[in-house]
Chains A and B, each alone.
Chain A
Amino acid sequence: MTDPVTTEESHVTPQKPAGGVKATSERPKAKPAFDFEPKIRIENLSLYYGQTRALFDVDMSMPAGEITALIGPSGCGKSTLLRTLNRMNDIIPAVRVTGTVAIDDVDIYSKAVHVDLLRKRVGMVFQKPNPFPKSIFENVAFGLRIHGESNRNSIEETVEKSLQRAALWDEVKDRLRENAMSLSGGQQQRLCIARALAVGPEILLMDEPTSALDPRSTARIEDLLDELRSDYTIVIVTHNMQQASRVSDWTGFMYEGYLVEFGQTEKIFIAPEKKQTEDYITGRFG
């Protein structure tokens, strides 16, 4: 199970070729190698919560400017994997990580990396909307302020731009000074997306961003993802098969800490290679 994905390279053609150079094939071991330039490259990644192992030798790459979905049954390690990408697991004591996570070929677990700068480049949106109990404006401006922006005009400009990108501007432009807690759940989640966009990340991690929302808000967020896709590299965890197939370009199926299968979404959903994947997708377990 440690080497789950064995797709031939030739089958895979990314929709948005980014140079077309193979970047992940230096290692002798048979690796999932695709014809794209990976924004994120995960090699041999394992993670332990104290004594318990939650990730087993995960190898995976995520292409730039596309949406990668992580699916799998509850407790299989999707959130854990996602949180290794912005080192969110650092705040949990007794977590140990081995292997490599490289973003733009820089190992993010190396000593020289500034975790704050990393998180500025890798934004995150959580399952439960978590706006700060501040005004709508201050929520979006928060990231700018902590990274040292103090020019009022430029803050205002970025806040407006981010809210527009998050498709929330029209709804809140007249109530920017109101407490963010007065927004609806779907609006709060879009606010959190705007908040993440404001600091100018290149990667967006989303952990079941719509699971707490009603179908309409979910649809809005999915539309939003579609709009953001070309400018950001997005990794999304979801329990919703339709959502994964609708929004993502690439899909990884996880099971009990292993990455079982990874490939283009169409392929995973139409012709999965592994039996487990098929069972899960067709709803036979999970």
Chain B
Amino acid sequence: MASIIDPKFKRGFWQDGEPFVWGTAAALSAILISITILIAVIMVNGLGVMWPSDVALLSLQDGAQVFGLPLREDPILGSDAINLQIKTGNRDLYGADFRWVEKGTVRAIEYPSDVYTLERMEYGNFYGRFKRLGDGAAPASSEDLEKAWQAGQEEKERIAAAAEEVNALSRRIDGISGRVLKLKHSGTPENDATLQGLLGEQETAKQELQGRMAEQSALTQALLAHTATFVDAGGREMTIPLMNIVRLYQPSQMGIGAKSRFYLSKIGELLFDEPRESNTEGGLFPAIFGTVMLTFLMSLLSFPLGLLAGIYLREYAREGIFIRIVRIAVNNLAGIPSIVYGIFGLGFFVYGIGGTIDAWFFPERLPTPTFGTGGILWASLTLGILTVPVVIVSTEEALGAIPRGIREGAYALGSTKFQTLVRVLLPMASPGIMTGFILAMARAAGEVAPLMITGVVKLAPTLPLDAEYPFLHLDRKFMHLGFHIFDIGFQSPNVEAAKPMVFVTTLLLVLIVLLMSSTAIYMRGRMRERYSVRSL
């Protein structure tokens, strides 16, 4: 055995394969690092914004003082000086939310405990000290302010309830108008009893609406009269209606527990509330809802269609030149830019099918389109077409990977092709098919371009699913997290103020995709355990 023990023997550098191992490891590391950085950037920027930071008081060289949150430092090109970005808030006073000062000119930074942070319905945050309540006839403490604000909040809820009634009324009027239009369109004479009845009903409802609206605006006016006055660091006063203050707190007086509670309530707002301030503040609920519902509707179309097509291609179609071309075409569909699918969706679904539906079923409403305009149904059909190739390919491959012996075993027992497929092949292929579903879902949830022309909007007044008959409103426009990112990040009037929201939205979108795919991956794992042909 001397020949296999040779101390001088050494394989060549390239034959050995060691560099290849390093290459594979390096490739994986590169991918991991870039993903980690991406996630970290999103997490740091997205999770930090909702924390109630202490408000600083900056004293500048020129004697001026300003409240704000120091955000980041940027070196000035060509000098040693460093620029400091401060979020000063008080946009109605200063005209902007942010300010850059040279770091050298800042003489002192303190954190006074009596500064309030106000989150407002408009003009962004306000940082300042509390001065007085109302006209200041009675002296007021911080407790008085908070009590008055609390009372205002309760009153506001009553107004919101009143607004809901107004909305319900106006929807009822819309419904009646629709029926009136329909009757008129079908040539019912003006003096028809039903038509007259409807018109009368509409008139009463309109009057009631007027009354309700007047009531509501009176309530609002009354509430707006309750104000509080605050002063900024430079002593300028600002009188703010209590009703317009969403939150008010003194971050320097909050302990870690209070801050955490605050943070959680902010997350709650994010998940369950409507957006405000042209989407740069408030919650993301409609966008989350839209994203999930869109993905769900897309799945309803894409999964069964792709599954059936994949089964046909693999199991029933006769192998030949035509099928091979179809297969190549299906594979290449994945390479078409998604905007092209969007244009197809607009032309085919929205104008083609939607227009036809309108012409047949809602002619009385024309030229106002019902289905002949972008909506969640068309957007999900478009995404369905876009993702269906993934499902087809994975179904085909999963079926193709089943060992021939298994099929033969089933046939040899007298099982028909269909029984074999349903009872043996599909269960065994299910993990692979699930992989296709997961990929399709992840792709659909992240797609924005095709949505922009098939029905997504920056602010939808209603959800596509609600308590109002017929509950599912597939013709409605919807909001979407992906589009939200684009909209607030690039279309917003106040891009700098919207930046945190961009990160938060991105984080949320990533989390939703993660949640959906991990559910699917979990299910796939269970199936794999059950249907694996590997001997244990």
Contacts and interface: CB of A to CB of B under 8 A. Distances in A.
A133 B531 contact: yes
A116 B415 contact: yes
B416 A116 contact: yes
Q: How large is the interface on B (under 10, 10 to 19, 20 to 34, 35 or more residues)?
A: 20 to 34
A179 B530 contact: yes
Interface of A is mostly: helix
Interface stretch (A29-37, A119-127, A251-259, A262-270): A119-127
Instruction: Name, among B412, B428, B530, B532, the residue most crowded by chain A CB atoms within 10 Å (CB to CB).
Output: B412
B414 A143 contact: yes
A142 B423 CA distance: 9
B412 A196 contact: yes
Instruction: Name, among B409, B416, B427, the residue most crowded by chain A CB atoms within 10 Å (CB to CB).
Output: B409
A132 B412 contact: no
A168 B409 CA distance: 19
Contact of A120 (B318, B406, B413, B535): B413
A226 B86 CA distance: 92
Interface residues of A, number: 32
Contact of A146 (B403, B405, B423, B535): B423
A86 interface: yes
A147 B530 CA distance: 24
B72 interface: no
A181 B414 contact: no
A190 interface: no
Contacts of B530: 133, 179
Nearest to A117: B414
A162 to B, nearest CB: 12
B406 A132 contact: yes
Nearest to A185: B535
Given A116-B416, A146-B413, A146-B415, A181 B536 contact: yes
Nearest to B320: A93
B411 interface: yes
A117 B406 CA distance: 19
B534 A143 contact: no
B521 interface: no
B405 A199 contact: no
Contact of A199 (B409, B413, B419, B531): B413
Interface in B389-404: 403
Contacts of B409: 126, 130-132, 192, 195
A131 B412 CA distance: 12
A220 interface: no
A119 B413 contact: yes
B440 to A, nearest CB: 25
B76 interface: no
B414 A130 contact: no
Contacts of A86: 412
Given A119-B411, A119-B414, A130 B534 contact: no
B393 to A, nearest CB: 23
A126 B405 contact: yes
A118 B411 CA distance: 11
Interface string B407-440: 1111111111001000110011000000000000
A120 B414 CA distance: 5
B411 A88 contact: yes
B62 interface: no
A123 B423 CA distance: 19
Contacts, number: 80
Contacts of A128: 405
Nearest to B319: A93
A166 B205 CA distance: 81
A91 interface: yes
B533 interface: yes
Contacts of A25: none
B423 A182 contact: no
Interface string A92-128: 0100000000000000000000011111100110101
A114 to B, nearest CB: 9
Contacts of B428: 133
Nearest to B420: A146
Contacts of B406: 130, 132
Contact of B419 (A133, A146, A192): A146
A195 B423 CA distance: 15
B423 A124 contact: no
A181 B534 CA distance: 7
Interface in A58-101: 86, 88, 91, 93
Contacts of A88: 408, 411-412
A93 B323 CA distance: 15
B411 A146 contact: no
A179 B319 CA distance: 34
Contacts of A188: 535
Instruction: Name, among B318, B319, B413, the residue most crowded by chain A CB atoms within 10 Å (CB to CB).
Output: B413
Instruction: Name, among A118, A126, A132, the residue most crowded by chain B CB atoms within 10 Å (CB to CB).
Output: A132
Interface in A120-163: 120, 123-124, 126, 128, 130-133, 142-143, 145-147
Interface in A161-211: 179, 181-182, 185, 188, 192, 195-196, 199
A133 B414 contact: no
A86 B530 CA distance: 30
B412 A124 contact: yes
Interface in B415-471: 415-416, 419, 423-424, 427-428
A182 B530 CA distance: 11
Given A91-B408, A128-B405, A130-B405, A199 B414 contact: yes
Contacts of B408: 88, 91, 124, 126, 130
Instruction: Name, among B403, B411, B531, the residue most crowded by chain A CB atoms within 10 Å (CB to CB).
Output: B411
A120 B415 CA distance: 9
13 contacts: A88-B411, A120-B413, A124-B408, A130-B403, A130-B406, A142-B423, A143-B415, A146-B416, A146-B423, A179-B530, A181-B535, A182-B536, A196-B413
**Interface pairs A-B: 6 shortest CB-CB:** A130-B405, A124-B412, A120-B414, A119-B414, A143-B413, A130-B409
Given A116-B416, A133-B532, 10 more contacts: A88-B408, A91-B407, A130-B406, A130-B409, A133-B530, A142-B410, A142-B415, A145-B423, A181-B532, A195-B413
